[in-house]
Structure 1
């Protein structure tokens, strides 16, 4: 929904990267309605993307029955709504991720508990 202001207003942003322990990254798993919104995490920019998959995502999504069935080689990634192919060996920063970026992943063949998203 568009917001129309009655007059121009300017103010400094209060959510700049310097106000957080690490840059924020939004992460969402498509077609899994058990999670109502992407998670937002402060993650070090030097973290390898592969460590995000191996060490961070299980703590977020691991209790979903589909998580153990994910074939990460088939996962489809999106950055700001566009198809994107991260390099697991490169850091988050080297994959082009910066403060408040949003990424999502889709797992073909997995569409929620008993296919609930379709």
Structure 2
């Protein structure tokens, strides 16, 4: 993100990948306001995308009543707001995701608690 400052702004970045156990990945579920913002999780780059979906996402979003009804074959994915088609058999890194990448997914037919987001 660009910074505009009134004076020189020359400070080293403090949240580089080497300061975390694994690169940070922001993951958000569109149209589900039970979760107000994407989760930020350390995600090893060698993690298979499909393993992240089946392993990490239930722990993050499984409390939502809609989660068990997700048809992952119909899920729509976005990286930094742009449509993205992940390869479930490739790693997070092979899918082009790195430190502080933002991914979001939309689940057609599931629009929040009792359809509250439409």
Residue ranges of structure 1 left out of the alignment (5+ in a row): none
Residue ranges of structure 2 left out of the alignment (5+ in a row): none
Task: Give the root-mean-square deviation of aligned CA atoms.
Answer: 1.2
SS in 1 for 2:117: coil
Please report the TM-score for the alignment, with normalisation by the length of structure 2: 0.96
Change (3 A) 1:4 1:91: closer
Per-residue CA deviations over 1:17-74 (Å, capped at 9, x if unaligned) read: 0000000000000000000000000011000000011000000001101001100000
Matches within 5 A, 1:16-95: 16-95=16-95
Q: Which runs of 4+ in 1 moved over 3 A?
A: none
Paired residue total: 117
